[in-house]
Amino acid sequence: MGQRIGIVGGGIVGVALARALAARGDDVTLLEKEARLAQHQTGHNSGVVHAGLYYAPDSLKATLCAAGRVRIREFCAEKGLPFREVGKLVVAVDDSEIPALNEIERRSRINGVPDLARIDDPARLHEIEPHAAGVAAVHSPHTAVTDYSTITEAMAQDVRAAGGRILLGHDVTGMSHENGRVRVHTPAWDDVFDRVIVCAGLHSDVVAGLVGGEASPRILPFRGEYWELAPQRTHLVRGMIYPVPDPRFPFLGVHFTRGVYDTVHVGPNAVPALAREGYSWRRWSAKDTWESLRWPGAWPLAKQHWRMGVDEISASLIKRRWYRKARRFIPELRMSDLTRKTAAGVRAQAWGRDGSLLDDFAVDRVGPVILLRNAPSPAATSSMAIADHVIAHHL
Ligand SMILES: Cc1cc2nc3c(=O)[nH]c(=O)nc-3n(C[C@H](O)[C@H](O)[C@H](O)COP(=O)(O)OP(=O)(O)OC[C@H]3O[C@@H](n4cnc5c(N)ncnc54)[C@H](O)[C@@H]3O)c2cc1C
């Protein structure tokens, strides 16, 4: 038997790590505070298996997304899980967006996005997405959709089959060093491990604090909301239609995605959540909001991005504003096509003291405890490659 390893967090990253460690013979125990796995980011996302278009060349996001996409595709094929390469079109709606589109094309080529095509002919654009409007685009035919909750459950079955334990309803509230090892506490349970790996998503800074980790980066929760397209109008979207993202911001912009179960959703936007698990405007935590406001990076961030913040919040509250943004990409879209808001997700975005938003995946270490400090999109795509990376470079 290898080492005794504890993992905090039963999202896709924690479970992928547990699976890889159990497979190599370590004695693995995964602790998840909820009654089921994948209840937070992993179960509330767009379901896109990214092909690596946007990420800074040589970043962890670029390399681990490319490797992770292939691993997810193979895993789905092996287990018979839903996976469809519906393809993604990133569309420049007018000439002002061409320089940013060129940059995406440049990064995509360096990152080795397979079979990427540049489209400057509207007729070709319409062959791919007949209802989309734009002056130019890049097309990634292997960008896919899947169901990350189902994948997480299938990985968890492998963990159990290899002798690992998954303890649900175990909220980690303390950790203490003990002769070079770590004792992990929940209110009703404790145990000691050679190594602990923290993959706690929206709570990764809080759990880091339990073991004396740096306060920075802090997690800034950003909610992403979705509207669903009426079933009789889903023919407007064949695969995925994305805007050219604003390079100053780490989110991709509201897009149209045909999901793996054939519903089409429009989103996610990015609005500050008023609680770490603030899935709607009604879910508010005075503690989380106060802690965000008194973080030194709050005011530099607000100063830099307030215009975009106002725009996103107003589109969240006023349907017509959301509709106007979406219609730029599909002129035939009617406001009544947006039928209902579906389950939102909250992104765990790491945020420095100086107000900067961390772009890349980030791993830190305090003695025998390894801390995933930033694992936003495309961490679901990259999950199995992140697991290999952590084991190879940090364990
Ligand atoms: C709106 C949205 C859209 C996205 N779209 C995509 C996409 O299309 N493609 C993609 O690749 N990525 C996407 N992402 C990002 C992706 O979902 C995340 O990067 C990924 O799920 C992160 O997985 P995780 O395991 O790190 O975190 P999580 O899934 O959040 O899991 C963390 C777990 O830790 C548990 N936990 C926290 N604290 C404790 C504690 N003290 N004790 C025990 N357990 C604890 C939580 O309950 C949770 O289950 C999206 C995210 C959002 C929010």
Which tens digit of pLDDT belongs to each residue from 98-157?
A: 999 999 999 999 999 999 999 999 999 999 999 999 999 999 999 999 999 999 999 999
For ligand 1, the distance from its centroid to the CA atom of residue 313, given in whole angstroms, is 23
The last residue of one of the domains, among 77, 104, 137, is 137
Q: How confident is the model at residue 378 (pLDDT cuts 50, 70, 90)?
A: very high
Q: 376 and 237 in one domain?
A: no
Q: 300 and 269 in one domain?
A: yes
Give me the DSSP letters along 207-264: HHHHTT--S-SEEEEEEEEEEEEPGGGGGG-SSEEEEPPPTTSSS--SEEEE-TTS-E
For ligand 1, the distance from its centroid to the CA atom of residue 133, given in whole angstroms, is 33
Ligand 1 atom, smallest distance to 9 CA: 34
Ligand 1 atom, smallest distance to 31 CA: 43
Here the CATH number for the domain that contains residue 161 is: 3.50.50.60
Q: Is 347 in the pocket of ligand 1 (CB under 6 A)?
A: yes
Nearest CA to ligand 1 atom 35: 9
Q: Is 376 in the pocket of ligand 1 (CB under 6 A)?
A: yes
Please give the Cα distance from 84 to 82 (Å, whole number). 7
Please give the Cα distance from 250 to 14 (Å, whole number). 23
Is residue 160's pLDDT more than 90?
Answer: yes
Question: How confident is the model at residue 1, as a pLDDT?
Answer: 65
Terminal Cα-to-Cα distance of the chain (whole angstroms): 16
Do residues 143 and 100 make contact, with C-beta atoms less than 8 angstroms apart? no
Is residue 250's pLDDT more than 90?
Answer: no
Within a domain: 68: no
The last residue of one of the domains, among 137, 171, 199, is 137
Q: 34 and 156 in one domain?
A: yes
Q: 233 and 97 in one domain?
A: no
The percentage of the chain sitting over the pLDDT mark of 70, rounded to a whole number, equals: 100
Q: Is 42 in the pocket of ligand 1 (CB under 6 A)?
A: yes
Q: 324 and 202 in one domain?
A: no
Instruction: Identify the sign of the CA torsion 62, 63, 67, 72.
Output: negative
Ligand 1 atom, smallest distance to 207 CA: 41
Which tens digit of pLDDT belongs to each residue from 316-354?
A: 899 999 999 999 999 999 999 999 988 899 999 998 998
3-class DSSP assignment, residue 157: helix
- How big is the CA angle at 334 (ends 340 and 49), to the nearest 5 degrees? 60
Into how many domains does the chain fold? Answer: 3
Within a domain: 73: no
Q: 281 and 157 in one domain?
A: no
Q: 42 and 166 in one domain?
A: yes
Which residue among 8, 36, 42 is best mutated to probe the pocket of ligand 1, counting the most ligand atoms within 8 A of its Cβ? 42
Q: Is 374 in the pocket of ligand 1 (CB under 6 A)?
A: no
Q: 331 and 230 in one domain?
A: yes
Q: Phi first, then psi: what are they for 286, rounded to 5°?
A: -60, -40
Q: How confident is the model at residue 246 (pLDDT cuts 50, 70, 90)?
A: confident
For ligand 1, the distance from its centroid to the CA atom of residue 356, given in whole angstroms, is 21
Q: Is 270 in the pocket of ligand 1 (CB under 6 A)?
A: no
Average pLDDT of the chain? 95
Within a domain: 63: no
Is residue 182's pLDDT more than 70?
Answer: yes
Please give the Cα distance from 84 to 80 (Å, whole number). 12
Within a domain: 72: no
**Virtual torsion, Cα 363, 67, 222, 202, nearest 10 deg:** -40
Give the domain extent around 257.
220-355
Interacting residues of 172 by C-beta distance below 8 A, sequence separation 6+:
8, 31, 33, 184, 185, 186, 200, 207, 210
Which tens digit of pLDDT belongs to each residue from 266-314?
A: 999 999 999 999 999 999 999 999 988 888 888 888 888 888 888 888 8
Within a domain: 174: yes
Nearest to 207 by CA among 383, 28, 4, 9: 9
Q: Which pairs with CB-CB distance under 8 Å and at least 24 residues apart come from 187-195?
A: 191/6, 191/29, 192/4, 193/4, 193/5, 193/6, 193/29, 193/368, 194/3, 194/4, 194/5, 194/368, 195/3, 195/4, 195/5, 195/6, 195/368, 195/369, 195/370, 195/395
Q: 362 and 343 in one domain?
A: no
Q: Is 107 in the pocket of ligand 1 (CB under 6 A)?
A: no
